[in-house]
Chain A
Amino acid sequence: MIRFEHVAKRYPGGVQALSDVNFELRRGEMAFLTGHSGAGKSTLLRLIAVLERPSRGQVLFDGKNVGRVSSRQIPRLRRKVGVIFQDHKLLTDRKVLDNVALPLLIAGYSWSEIRRRVRAALDLVGLLDKENTLIPALSGGQQQRVGIARAMIAKPPVLLADEPTGNLDPELSEELMRLFCTLNELGTTVLIATHDLDLVERLGRRTLVLKAGCMIDDRSGAGAGRRDGEAGP
């Protein structure tokens, strides 16, 4: 589904965020992406959603080189990828309902269908009673969950999450990670960038480790609880 071949990304300022990254995420697979702050996790996710273009190498999505797609094709591609952003990226002057509904509005769903689906999604992230609340009136963790609801509402085949549990307490983190696992079992390909190594280990999924822009480890999730080979910052 997603394949990186010798991908490098250098930002205009001269920062080498990624250098020669190779990996493949198959359809229906779920993986975690860890690494120290500034290792390039967000950059890697941004390349998949074509929020950035790679400087070198190929990013293949469904066999298509997304580094080369024309800007006219970008929206269609992005709709196949639900992204949960580290900084939420919510419309701060709108209600929760309007934010979560965004992908469905774009797709032209009927309003009744949108209402139904928004309620279902908010129910999953535990925010059903906040439907008509303005974003600034929510806590950081609640905003994060609005972002999660928005990312999954249109049921995209791929879900990318950048620190989705960064602002959440351990119980809620665990609950939302389980939600990602459930979505994965229903067929969604999931890639989650996170610092929460304990949680990653407990869930025992495949884990990709970035260090200073290089992929230094790619562990399959078979052995839950394994601690050796952990490349700390």
Chain B
Amino acid sequence: MSRMSERGGGDLRAWARRHGYSLLSSVGTLVRNPLTSALTIIVLAIALTLPLGLNTALVNLEAVHDNLDRLDSISVFLELDAGEDGARRVASQLSSWRNILAVDPVSPETGMRELAGATGLDRFEVGDVPLPWVLEVTPNSTVDIAELAERLRRAERVDMVVVDLDWVRRLDAILGVFSRLVILLAALFAASVLFVISNNIRTEIQRRREEIEILALVGATPGYIRRPFLYSGLWMGLGGALLAWLAVHAGLWMLKGPVEALAATYGASAELTAPSVQMLGLMLTGSGVLGILGAWVAVSRQLARINP
């Protein structure tokens, strides 16, 4: 039929043009309602800032945790017959090592008291178990703990070296809880993104009821009617993710000074890690997809009412 051939270009080009018109239409809607769009994007950004911020905090805490290993003290148990003189001599020897910050000798009596306290037993029940002198060694923050422990083990009069990693392990566990929390929050806030966007699109649809009806009347397919809204959802998702990203960067920038001051008291230098570009990509993709999904849900419900 001549009518068919009048349509310019092939089906593919017509398809591409329809997409182009939908895209322009969605941008037009955002621009025509700058306040609504801005508010939605801000709400989304807030919802996304929380998990992203927590994740960033987690990444940074893990870095600190790696550093804390080095601040840990090492217990060096001397041979039983070393005595106080021997202990003091080894202590002064060790404190001259380049990798060691401080050496603190602990007498058997003090050790006994601590042991009794820690086990809850009376010191007489513990009895006359002979205790050695112990040197609490604080290593330099840059040292490799394992290597230092090995060297200490080979040092004169040293019986045993114990690296106490208890509280580091505890921190480990805390970080584990924390990272699980980040995952939970991320899921929660992803859901909120979905609801915020689909709710926003729902009101948008309510406002543009007439337009949707008219489009349907002149023969637009559900896909065509849906598309501008899907694009709107996408823009909102992307905008929210981008803004959240910027917010976390701003937060890091504000924390930079105080954190450096804090690190300085430990004689360390702090370098805050910003969320990676991959993270940005992940968030944009995720939030964008959620935006499209939210819009899809909202439009489909409305469309079902229009076609008899």
Contacts and interface: CB of A to CB of B under 8 A. Distances in A.
A106 B17 contact: no
Contacts of B214: 89-91, 102
A113 B308 contact: no
B17 to A, nearest CB: 4
Interface residues of B, number: 27
Most buried by B among A52, A75, A91: A75
Given A106-B18, A108-B17, A109-B8, A89 B219 contact: no
Contacts of B17: 108-111
A155 interface: yes
A106 B220 contact: yes
B278 interface: no
A3 interface: no
Contacts, number: 73
Interface stretch (A26-34, A56-64, A76-84): A76-84
A110 B8 contact: yes
A105 B308 contact: no
Interface in B251-277: none
A155 B8 contact: no
Interface string B1-40: 0010011110001111110010000000000000000000
Interface in B217-244: 217-222, 224
A87 to B, nearest CB: 11
Contacts of A50: 308
Contacts of B210: 91-92
Interface in A40-59: 49-53
Contacts of B211: 91
B217 A51 contact: yes
Nearest to B11: A108
Interface string B48-77: 000000000000000000000000000000
Contacts of A52: 308
Contacts of B8: 109-110, 113
A231 interface: no
B279 interface: no
A157 interface: yes
A145 interface: no
Contacts of B14: 107-109
B1 to A, nearest CB: 9
Given A75-B221, A109-B14, A109-B17, A102 B215 contact: yes
Contacts of B216: 75, 78
How big is the A interface, by class? 20 to 34
A83 B307 CA distance: 16
Interface in A96-152: 102-103, 105-111, 113, 150
Given A71-B307, A74-B307, A106-B18, A89 B7 contact: no
A108 B18 contact: yes
A150 B214 CA distance: 11
B3 A155 contact: yes
A110 B7 CA distance: 9
Contacts of B6: 155
A162 to B, nearest CB: 12
Contacts of A113: 8
A150 B218 contact: yes
Contact of B217 (A76, A83, A92): A83
A77 B210 CA distance: 21
A103 B218 CA distance: 6
Contacts of A76: 219
A93 to B, nearest CB: 8
Contacts of B221: 75, 106
A169 to B, nearest CB: 27
A55 to B, nearest CB: 12
A27 B285 CA distance: 52
Contacts of A157: 3
B220 A75 contact: yes
A196 to B, nearest CB: 24
A107 B214 CA distance: 15
A102 B16 CA distance: 16
Contacts of B213: 89
10 contacts: A51-B308, A75-B216, A75-B221, A78-B219, A90-B214, A102-B214, A106-B18, A108-B13, A108-B14, A109-B14
Given A107-B14, A108-B14, 19 more contacts: A50-B308, A53-B308, A71-B308, A77-B219, A78-B217, A78-B218, A91-B214, A102-B214, A103-B218, A103-B219, A106-B18, A106-B220, A108-B13, A108-B16, A109-B7, A109-B14, A109-B17, A110-B13, A150-B218
Q: Which 6 A-B pairs have the closest CB atoms?
A: A108-B14, A79-B219, A78-B219, A71-B307, A108-B18, A108-B17
